[in-house]
Amino acid sequence: KALRNSFPYIRIYAVEPNDSAVLSGDTPGFHKIEGNGAGFVPPILDTSIYDGVVRVRNDDAIEMCRRLAREEGLLVGISSGSAIWASLLIAQDLGKGNNLVTVAPDRGDRYLDVIYEGTSIAEDPISECHD
């Protein structure tokens, strides 16, 4: 609400798992994006605050986490991966000269066996991120 009051032209987007898109009116379902998509709309959520909802597939969120570790040295969690993936989609519509802010709410060390399984990041995340 504070951002909306301070910046009346701001656009705010919610991000949710494609497989449990309850904010979009779909039914809850199983997904891998921990911390997102609890299967219900919490009563504390003011749905009038956001302008739209971006649905993110499990594989896209996981790939974004891996890409950020590999290319930027950022070990983020799957909620952050989904938020950043959604931001890239939104950025395509914004065009040049606009600002975009994304909240990355979690870190990746808690998800090594989920996000980074089968990659060298799972075995040695520090050296992989700094190569």
The CATH code of domain 2-129 reads 3.40.50.1100
User: Smallest Cα–Cα separation from 15: which of 106, 110, 108?
Assistant: 106
pLDDT for 120 equals 55
Give percent of the chain with pLDDT exceeding 90. 39
Q: Report the chain's mean pLDDT, rounded to a whole number.
A: 83
Q: How many CB atoms within 10 Å of residue 50?
A: 16
pLDDT for 21 equals 76
pLDDT at 116 over 80: no
Give percent of the chain with pLDDT exceeding 70. 82
User: 69-101: per-residue pLDDT in tens?
Assistant: 999 999 999 899 999 999 999 999 988 889 999
Helix, strand or coil for residue 49? coil
User: 57-76: per-residue pLDDT in tens?
Assistant: 988 999 999 999 999 999 99
Q: Where are the domains of the chain?
A: 2-129
pLDDT at 129 over 50: no
